[in-house]
Each structure stands twice: as structure tokens, then as C-alpha cells.
């Protein structure tokens, strides 16, 4: 009787194991029609940190991020175009090559995660409850970007949670 039970339990365990992995659906890359724009709410996972608010515009070969909150940086714009970027706040302006911007710059991480996730560059995709979840790395930072019907919803990266709203394409 013990041998018979052993022969029944092993196939049962194996079938459960394969069923668990089969339920995890892989999916194709999310696609976003360019040009598009949206609003961002950027919250640090650290307590007592400001929430940053910005608008993001994507054109064919450029990005524009305009911060609206907190007041101390309201009006600051960051333009990424080809291999350069420009930061402007009031009368101050700074230009440099894009690869000179630190990997930890929040705007750069958001843009890189969106680019990588929609271009399917070293990204894993899963479907969960009607959402597409893209997981990958930007620089050395892991990220998870959630899309619903090819519209970005949330991004978790390097101690930040970014919420996308008012998406227009």
C-alpha cells in the first residue's frame, strides 16, 4: 500500500508543480503610441519626503519633463533630445550629454524605464489581473512598470513610486 501511495503522490506533485508555472502568463511588450503626454506623481519610499509632481511629454526623438511641485522647483524643465539634455529653472540653464546625467536622476530613470519597457530591451513581461507588468533594470536599478491597456499606471524604481495620470496620445 505504501508503494502504491508513493506512485500516486509523485505524479500528483509533479502535475501541481507544472500547473503553477503554466498559470504565470507571459505576454508581449506594451506599446505606447508616440507622441503622448501625462502627469506624474513621484513619491519617495522614505518617510517625510516631498512628493514631486510633473508633466511628461514624449515626441518622436525627445522628452520634456516639467516639474510643478514642490514649489521650490516648480517650472523646472528637463529636455532630453537624442544624446543630450537641458535643465532650465528660471534664468539658470545647463546643457550636457545624456550619459553625463547620473543614473540615479529620477527623470532619467522614469524615461529609461518607459523606453525599455516599450522597446522590449531585456525586459520580462507578465499578465496579471488584466495588467501587463514589465520588469527590468535601468543602470543597476531594478524596476517594475505596470500597464493597463498599454497605458502606464505605476512604476516602482530605486525607492520611488511613480503614478501616471491623465495620459493622452
pTM across the whole model: 0.80
137 or 20, which is more confident: 137
pLDDT of residue 6: 46
The answer to whether 109 and 65 have CB atoms below 8 angstroms apart is no
CATH number given to 24-168: 2.50.20.10
Tens of pLDDT, residues 42-96: 999 988 788 999 999 999 999 999 999 999 999 999 999 988 999 999 999 999 9
Q: Where are the domains of the chain?
A: 24-168
Amino acid at each position: 500500500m505504501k508503494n502504491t501511495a508513493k506512485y500516486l503522490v509523485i505524479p500528483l506533485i509533479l502535475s501541481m508543480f507544472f500547473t503553477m508555472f503554466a498559470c504565470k502568463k507571459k505576454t508581449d511588450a506594451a506599446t505606447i503610441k508616440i507622441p503622448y503626454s501625462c502627469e506624474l506623481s513621484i513619491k519617495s519610499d522614505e518617510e517625510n519626503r516631498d512628493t514631486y509632481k510633473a508633466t511628461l511629454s514624449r515626441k518622436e526623438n525627445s522628452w520634456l519633463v516639467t516639474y510643478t511641485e514642490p514649489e521650490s522647483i516648480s517650472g523646472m524643465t528637463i529636455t532630453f533630445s537624442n544624446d543630450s539634455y537641458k535643465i532650465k529653472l528660471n534664468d539658470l540653464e545647463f546643457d550636457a550629454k545624456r550619459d553625463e546625467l547620473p543614473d540615479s536622476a529620477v527623470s532619467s530613470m522614469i524615461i529609461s524605464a518607459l523606453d525599455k519597457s516599450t522597446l522590449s530591451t531585456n525586459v520580462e513581461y507578465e499578465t496579471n489581473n488584466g495588467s501587463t507588468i514589465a520588469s527590468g533594470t535601468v543602470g543597476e536599478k531594478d524596476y517594475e512598470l505596470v500597464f493597463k491597456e498599454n497605458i502606464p499606471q505605476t512604476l516602482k524604481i530605486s525607492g520611488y513610486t511613480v503614478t501616471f495620470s491623465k495620459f493622452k496620445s
